Amino acid sequence: MKCPFCNKKMAAKKDPYHYTESGLDNVFLHTDVYKCDCGETIADIPNIYGLHELIAKALVKKESMLMPKEIKFLRKKMYLKAKELADMLGVTKVTVSRWENGAENIGIANDKLIRFIYAQMFQEKCKEIVEFIDNVREINPTARRKRIIIPKKDIKGAVCYF
């Protein structure tokens, strides 16, 4: 792999890739990563839409509450505007914005509803809805947030249903 900026040969790296381009701060990818002396880093992501779907599923399934950036990530993954999500939940657009910038706590009811909306949108596309519903039942407001780690085989086989 050659660096697209300086054209030098890039060295392969072993560490998980901290995928901050997702807009999230705790997503790590187990994929091939190449590093150049000029500072450029490139991660092998064959299907970015499929990968974002894997991340969205990990968010829906996680035990801890959704963090502000995670709420925004899920909303965007559902291709909903803040106003559209607000209308579905019976809150105002301002409330959704405040959840997404951390000014207001989402609360467990709306956290669960957002996950159900996501699962419902996928109902016809995948068979995971029952599993999702079980996961949403398990949300624990006091659970500690964990890293989201996407394994290599999943990144390689990522598909997008939308």
Binding site for Zn ion (CB under 5 A): 3, 5-6, 36, 38, 40
Nearer to Zn ion, 20 or 41 (CB): 41
- Give the Cα separation of 118 and 89 in Å (integer): 13
Nearer to Zn ion, 38 or 160 (CB): 38
Q: For residue 96, what are the contacts with CB-CB under 8 A and spacing of at least 6?
A: 71, 75, 82, 83, 85, 86, 89
CB of 55 to Zn ion, least distance (A): 28
CB of 11 to Zn ion, least distance (A): 11
The distance in angstroms from the start CA to the end CA of the chain is: 31
Nearer to Zn ion, 2 or 152 (CB): 2
Nearer to Zn ion, 28 or 34 (CB): 34
**Hey, what long-range contacts does 90-93 have (CB within 8 A, 24 or more apart)?**
none
CB of 45 to Zn ion, least distance (A): 19
Q: For residue 141, what are the contacts with CB-CB under 8 A and spacing of at least 6?
A: 65, 108
